[in-house]
Amino acid sequence: MRTSAQLLSMKGRRVIVTGAAAGIGRAMALRFAEAGAELLLLDIDEAGLTQTAAEVGRLSSRVTTQVVDLARKTQIDAFWSHFEVDLPDTLINNAGSYPLRTYLEVDARFLEQTLRVNLESALWMCQDFIARRKEQGGVIVNVSSVEAVVPFMDDLIPYSVSKAGILALTRALAHAYGKRGFRVNVLVPGAIKTPGTQRLRKAAVRRLDVDLMKTGYHFANRLALGRWGEPDEVACVALFLASDLASYVQGAAVPVDGGFLSS
């Protein structure tokens, strides 16, 4: 029987983390490096990626970064076209953004960009990953949001829709490809302190948007643990799901939200 430490170890594994330049993605990169993985970090933000790589470099020397705009399928295709050998075995689709806009002002362009960044990016990344690893299988961890299950912010409706799509994508892939050796699960974070959520909070204060501030207050009141979470607290659950400790977990939507969804 393998020990718990062996089951959690990522030694010998090659892991892609998207959105690794900041927030939850950077924390994931650090956790996976600490567990022994070789990392391929993707983001649109080159400076942030360099910073993450420097931090990861203290734990593991096996890290590569690549600037990719995941909202553009052509760039996703270009990224995958480089792989002939040494295919990554684990894909963490974390990149995302929180574009705020009043529902009645959402237009086709805004909706399209939101869906591209938050939903289509993961769909295409999964397709390329599965297509190239169809003989070997692999592990996918997607990232949804509590907004997909209990929408809370009125100005995030396209975002909520995109993250609901991530839940559907995960379950559909888990069902379709489980017997072919792919484990696919999804994290459902909420109230994690990251640059992205900091920007949301600052926007509410800057706009002196009382409704948005009230929403923030009610949101915080639903956190059963009574506090916001750290990016590393999401990264630890991602590591568990990606590891062999979770070998019988399939199609699961795992909240990491301080009890928000249960309140």
Ligand X SMILES: NC(=O)c1ccc[n+]([C@@H]2O[C@H](COP(=O)([O-])OP(=O)(O)OC[C@H]3O[C@@H](n4cnc5c(N)ncnc54)[C@H](O)[C@@H]3O)[C@@H](O)[C@H]2O)c1
Which residue ranges make up the site for ligand X (CB under 6 A)?
A: 19, 21-25, 43-45, 48, 68-71, 94-97, 117, 143, 145, 189-192, 194-197
Residue with Cβ nearer ligand X (198 or 247): 198
Residue with Cβ nearer ligand X (192 or 242): 192
| Closest-CA residue to 223 (of 197, 188, 258) | 258
Structure-token pair, residue 225 = 């643990």
**Residue 12 C-beta: closest distance to ligand X, Å:** 27
159 noted as active-site residue = yes
Residue with Cβ nearer ligand X (132 or 193): 193
DSSP 80-129: HHT-SSS--SEEEE---------GGG--HHHHHHHHIIIIIHHHHHHHHH
Q: Which residue in 159, 177, 217, 248 is the catalytic one?
A: 159
User: Which letter, b or e, does each residue of 170-189 get, where b requires 16 or more Cβ atoms within 10 Å of its Cβ?
Assistant: bbebbeebeeeebbbbbbbb
If DSSP codes are grouped into helix, strand and coil, which group holds residue 262? helix
Structure-token pair, residue 141 = 């961890």
Residue with Cβ nearer ligand X (99 or 178): 99
**Residue 6 C-beta: closest distance to ligand X, Å:** 29
**Residue 76 C-beta: closest distance to ligand X, Å:** 9
The kind and range of the H/E element at 29 are helix 23-34
From CA 184, how far away is CA 33, in angstroms rounded?
Answer: 21
Q: Is 226 left (phi over 0), alpha (psi -120 to 50) or beta?
A: left
**Residue 148 C-beta: closest distance to ligand X, Å:** 9
**Residues classed as catalytic:** 159
